[in-house]
Amino acid sequence: MSERLNYNHIAPAGAKALGGVYGYVMQSGLPATLVTLVYLRVSQINNCAYCLDMHTRELLKSGVRVDKLALLQAWVEAGDLFEERERAALAWAETVTSVAETGVPDEAYQAARAVFGERELVDLTIAISLMNAYNRMSISFRNTPQAAIEKAA
């Protein structure tokens, strides 16, 4: 699959705006590994190869173990491999990403609020929303995953 267009070059102000939101999230106080796990889970749900590749590489580089990455898609069944805050963030990410099907039920909100403060939950939701936007951009315009670039080289 080849790239349809490079949205970063065509709309640099828009790309910069998304980058500003990314910068906000990374300075929000949420742990970077938690945010990146959420980014990876959202990208799994959306089947975004470009983002799956990128966030897997980021997590491996930051020291996250392969077994944790391998079980991310089935985190509910992974027992204590994922910490309480990670499980709460992943559950919230799944219901927010699938908002058309879930409607983000009160039980999901209450479960997330039991673990995250108001500001943390807003920041986490911004992160989830941002990754959904990036996934849609990458899929729509066929961003090439780094692994595919390396294989072609």
pLDDT digits (tens, 9 = 90+) for 49-100: 999 999 999 999 999 999 999 999 999 999 999 999 999 999 999 999 999 9
Confidence of residue 149 (pLDDT cuts 50, 70, 90): confident
Cβ atoms of residues 35 and 127 within 8 Å: yes
The letter for the amino acid at 93 is A
Tokens 């499980």 belong to residue: 87
Contacts of 88 (CB under 8 A, 6+ apart): 111, 112, 114, 115, 116
State the chain's mean pLDDT as an integer.
Answer: 95
Token code pair at residue 4: 């349809």
Sorted by where each begins, the domain ranges of the chain are 7-152
**How many CB atoms lie under 10 A from the CB of residue 90?**
21
Class of domain 7-152: mainly alpha
Residue-level pLDDT at 73: 97
Instruction: Tell me if the pTM is above 0.75.
Output: yes
Residues in the chain: 153
Share in percent of the chain as helix, strand, coil (round to 5): 75, 0, 25
Residue-level pLDDT at 15: 95
